[in-house]
């Protein structure tokens, strides 16, 4: 390269016999070209730097997504465990209800537990109605009215966490209630142990309930009638067991009930067993829970082999299934 006074000249020799090529560039042009080249180099360096930063952000975002997925799976598993525990508590609540009936303890009023409300308040001012909800909904949406992927993921995670927290609070409240109930039941059971043996808390026969307690359509008249017990279907001559200890108050034959047994369990509780094929106890006999008292049959007014099982408390027929625990 040869530098002239106001320009730079580049000479290209193509051979010994060829005429050389000359390219002349002004200093101003060279200076501008160097500035443009330096600018392009700087832009490329900035682009590479930005690319490295973005790549790091993507790696971090992918790691964060993996953590979110793992957290979601753990939260879901925890929520399922909470629901399973809640179902167990509900089952325990049903048993507690039956135990309350057996021990004569008044059940808690559901409305007292579920509808407790309070706190200070004031009338809404103009423009306040729905303001908080509307603001939160608008803030969570973009111009198209749709949440972005990140916002939707965050919303779903918060919603799931809120559900788990809400269920935990309900579980804690129910647990406290059931603990209080169990304490009451324990105290009542200690005071009334002698009543346990006299309470008909087991099935007198294993089978299936063919007719429940309460209003039904009579199989004989086809009209609505009150069924004062439950009918339990089973194979003929299946042994009938006393569901609680007591004294045989009466045995005999009734035109409607066929062969029947009445047992007085004390504490105002009586049970009756109808349509028996055979009576295996005598009047005045003391029986214990689980002792065989007769065989299942279809005597009297009956459409097939079954046991008519009746429970009376203070001379009033009640649903026998309220007392059965097994």
Angle ∠(318,174,75) on CA atoms, nearest 5: 130
Give the pairing of strands 230-233 and 306-313: antiparallel
Task: Summarize pLDDT for 49-99 with one digit per residue, the tens.
Answer: 888 888 888 888 888 888 888 888 887 887 788 788 888 888 877 877 777
- Does 29 map to a domain? yes
Give the pLDDT of residue 106: 65
Element (H, E) at 80: helix 27-103
Is residue 138 one of the residues assigned to a domain?
no
Does a structural domain hold residue 267?
A: yes
DSSP-derived secondary structure letter, 235: -
Q: Is 241 part of a structural domain of the chain?
A: yes
Assign residue 299 the CATH number of its domain. 2.70.70.10
The label of the residue with tokens 């017990």 reads 229
DSSP H helices, 231-319, are none
- Is there a contact between 287 and 232 (Cβ–Cβ < 8 Å)? no
User: What is the count of structural domains for the chain?
Assistant: 2
- List Cα–Cα distances, 58 to 51, 63, 132, 156, in angstroms: 10, 8, 35, 22
Report pLDDT for 244: 93
What is the Cα–Cα distance from 290 to 80, expressed in whole angstroms?
40
Could you say which of 49, 67, 85 is where a domain stops?
A: 67
| Rounded Cα gap, residues 227 and 13, in angstroms | 123
Residue 55, domain member (yes or no):
yes
Picking from 98, 87, 112, 86, the residue whose alpha carbon sits closest to that of residue 181 is 98
- Residue numbers in the chain where pLDDT is lower than 70: 1-5, 102-158, 160, 191
pLDDT of 167 reads: 75
Instruction: Please state the length of the chain.
Output: 326
Q: For Cα atoms 215, 219, 222, give the angle at the middle one, nearest 5 degrees.
A: 80
- Helix 149-191, helix 27-103: angle, nearest 10: 20
| 176 is a domain residue | no
Domain span holding position 264: 208-322
| Coil/strand/helix, residue 303 | coil
- Pick from 42, 67, 92: which residue ends a domain? 67
How many angstroms separate the first and last alpha carbons of the chain?
108
Asked if 245 contacts 282 with a C-beta cutoff of 8 angstroms, the reply is no
Residue 8 has a pLDDT of 77
Tell me, yes or no, whether 19 lies in a domain: yes
Task: Report the candidate in 164, 139, 147 with the shortest Cα–Cα distance to residue 77.
Answer: 164
pLDDT score of 133: 44
Residue 311 lies in a domain: yes
């Amino acid at each position: 390269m040869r530098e002239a006074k106001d320009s730079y000249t580049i000479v290209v020799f193509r051979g010994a016999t060829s005429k050389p090529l000359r390219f002349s560039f002004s200093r101003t042009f060279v200076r501008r070209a160097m500035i443009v080249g330096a600018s392009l180099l700087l832009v490329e360096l900035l682009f590479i730097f930005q690319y490295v930063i973005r790549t790091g952000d993507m790696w971090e975002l992918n790691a964060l997504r993996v953590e979110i997925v793992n957290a979601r799976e753990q939260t879901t598993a925890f929520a399922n465990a909470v629901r399973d525990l809640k179902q167990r508590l509900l089952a325990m609540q049903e048993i507690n209800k039956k135990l309350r009936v057996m021990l004569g303890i008044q059940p808690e009023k559901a409305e007292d537990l579920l509808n407790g409300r309070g706190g200070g308040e004031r009338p809404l001012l103009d423009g306040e109605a729905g303001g908080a909800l509307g603001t939160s909904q608008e803030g969570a949406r973009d111009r198209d009215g749709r949440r972005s992927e990140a916002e939707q993921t965050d919303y779903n995670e918060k919603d799931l966490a809120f559900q788990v927290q809400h269920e935990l609070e309900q579980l804690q409240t129910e647990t406290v209630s059931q603990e209080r109930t169990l304490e009451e039941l324990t105290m009542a059971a200690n005071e009334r142990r002698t009543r346990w043996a006299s309470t008909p808390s087991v099935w007198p026969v294993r089978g299936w309930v063919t007719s429940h307690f309460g209003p039904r359509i009579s199989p004989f008249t086809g009209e609505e009638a009150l069924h004062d017990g439950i009918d339990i279907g089973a194979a003929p001559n299946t042994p009938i067991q006393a569901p609680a200890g007591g004294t045989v108050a009466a045995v005999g034959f009734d035109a409607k009930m066929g062969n029947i047994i009445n047992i007085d369990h004390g504490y105002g509780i009586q049970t009756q067993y109808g349509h028996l094929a055979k009576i295996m106890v005598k009047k005045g006999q003391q029986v214990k829970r689980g002792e065989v008292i007769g065989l299942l049959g279809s005597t009297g007014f009956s459409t097939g082999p079954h046991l008519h099982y009746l429970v009376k408390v203070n001379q009033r027929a009640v649903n026998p299934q309220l007392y059965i625990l097994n």
